[in-house]
Chains A and B, each alone.
Chain A
Amino acid sequence: MARMGAVTSKVDRQRSSRAGSVTAGGTRNGRGTDSARESLRTRIHAPRIADVDERIANIERATKRIKTDVQVDFVRTRRGRR
């Protein structure tokens, strides 16, 4: 276990010593990198429905599925007010 810890520490030191340490998804200063954008592109799911009109009709249908009179006021609830 001690040996594993030592190896991890060495990797951490190497990471932190790099100028502008880069994560798998982007730079630490909050700006995306080309590789981050490329990674995102590879995971894009295209719309299953090809026809635009049909897609819009699908949106309309989806937003009418839930029937309720209750208001949850999601943003206020998220802020902790009930």
Chain B
Amino acid sequence: MAANNNIQISDLDFDSIKNNLKTFLRGQNTFKDYDFEGSGLSVLLDVLAYNTHYNAYYLNMVGNEMFLDTAALRSSVVSHAKLLNYTPTSAIAPVSTINLTVTGVTSPSLTLPKFTSFKSEAVDGVNYTFVTNDIKTVSVVAGTATFPNVSIYQGQPVSLSYTVDTSTNLSQTFSLPDVQIDTTTIIVQVQQSITNGTLSTYTLADNVLQLNDTSQVFFLQEGSLGLYEIYFGDGILGQSLIDGNIVNVSYLVTSGTASTGANNFVLLDSIGGTGIVNSLTSASMGGDQESISSIKYQAPKSYAAQGRAVTFEDYITAIQQNKLNFGIDSVSVWGGEDNVPPIYGQVFISIKPAGQYALTDNQKNQLIVDVIKPLSVITVQPTILDPDYTYVKLNVSVVYDQKKTTLTSSQISDSITTALQSYSASQLNTFNSTFSLGDVYSVIQQVNPSIISSSCKVQVQKKIYPTLDVSKQYILNYGVPLNRGVYSSGVNSTPTIQYYKNDIVVTLLNDVYIEEIPFPSSGVQSVSILNPGFNYSSIPVITITGDGTGATAVATVVNGQVTSITVTNPGINYTQAFLTITNASGDTTGSSCSAYLTLQGQYGSLRSYYYDGNNIKTVLNPNIGVIDYYNGIVTLNNFNPTNVNNSLGQLTITANPESTIISSSRNRIVTIDPYDPTSITVSVTAK
């Protein structure tokens, strides 16, 4: 057989391998029919190429699974993460808080046992079981026992027992047979033997540095198929078990986020009276088992953090992996030095919890004390800020061709609303997300091919819960420059508010509105000093020139320096204006003062008004707030409503953004409010 120098070995797919074999066979004369599909040689080449391809594919998959970045199987990813000392987060049981009142109790005290069951109302057609996770005892007063602020967790309690037998299970690893375990609820107790009922409680080991041969700890890891495994110490790192020990394990198996929002609970178990449940919060803060992509993302960061919180990523990782049962959607962290003005020595953290708007003060405190403080640098003070939501309100108009679809206009309208809501849920609703009108148009266009054209008006909203009957300042930062509006289409509020006339508790006005009054934009707003100069013996003359008329200003001199220049008349019709500073007559020493002008337009104001008995619009307070158009900030000063006319007590202030790209940074979240039916309005016209 002749030498063939053209043999290729780098191809991996079947056809290329077979072609390479044919190229190889061209170098010989004995078998010539390699090129014909019916030949016997072709069958042999098929076998060879198939075998080579098979091995190449297998090696490729083995190669993939060998690295955390490329592994596709959960067991491989988890195994790689294990080398980085990372245990994937389990499902987290959503928690709800209730007040439980039990009537008709005859005993002097009543105990609410662990795992007392409650049934929730249906969420998406499923009633979920919630259980208590600890024991509470209260005294009974007049036959009634009251359990305040009881936390109940969604899940089914499971208890298992294993007998230690090193002859059958050498590694003494006990697999827990449920995937959706909330591992924070695992309780492990070890009984000495079947005849000796002494129980010891073992805790989860999280720091091997503190372990010795008598530490009663267990270790947790995720095994194959996503099942969790527990194992015990070897007698050096943690106390080891001996044959005959009985390991009792209990935990909750939860449905994770599926039960978020469950409410209106009913007591299922009999605890010695009639239970009346008053729900304080609906179920929230649940989570699902950590996904493969999340493990790939978190494990190296957890390793890099080395159990310390120093960089932004350290904080984010530590908070997302908290052991406090808090399901967290998104975390934003920044240093106080980035604030305006800077606040040194502080780290600011903003957290969007799963299923609710903000953490309670108690939860924030728990996070700081139990999660952040043990990891952070000693002198750095963590501060948790609530997310600051900027809501986007969309007013969509769509023209569609009714010959191209079987859908009715209301079905098209519904599908556009649904598509925009899912865009909001997936693209917005987290820190550092960006709303873009272009994205909205592409979402609308993809809803149905019959949609010919669409237009969309974007407004931004802030929602506040004013403290009633207390005069306060509210600063609403929209995070985007605002357009100057006119009466009725500028900044306004919904719903109406109740307000005492002139802040005197005599006449209560039931329906008070807020509207924008734009300042005239053609005068001189202010003068800023660049250099105060020196040696002025008298006040210099300030002259304003430009294409408008009437603007005047006066300077104030202190110790020979011009400390300020005040506009006394803004003038009108300026599109550009210049400032000249001339020494007063007789002042030969003063020099070097320089300053610049700002034209009007940065600010507008808000006023409140009502309709009197004769339905005449009457101004209540001509200056209830200020609008800073450039910085997108609306400030309500001395705002003191008596009531907000909706059930939530929530006041919405709507403004028009100058740009339709709205970014969020730090603790700001841009979103479309899923709970507000007016947040997306769609009008559909048939062509």
Chains A and B belong together in one complex: no
Give chain A's interface residues, CB within 8 Å of chain B.
Answer: none
Give chain B's interface residues, CB within 8 Å of chain A.
Answer: none
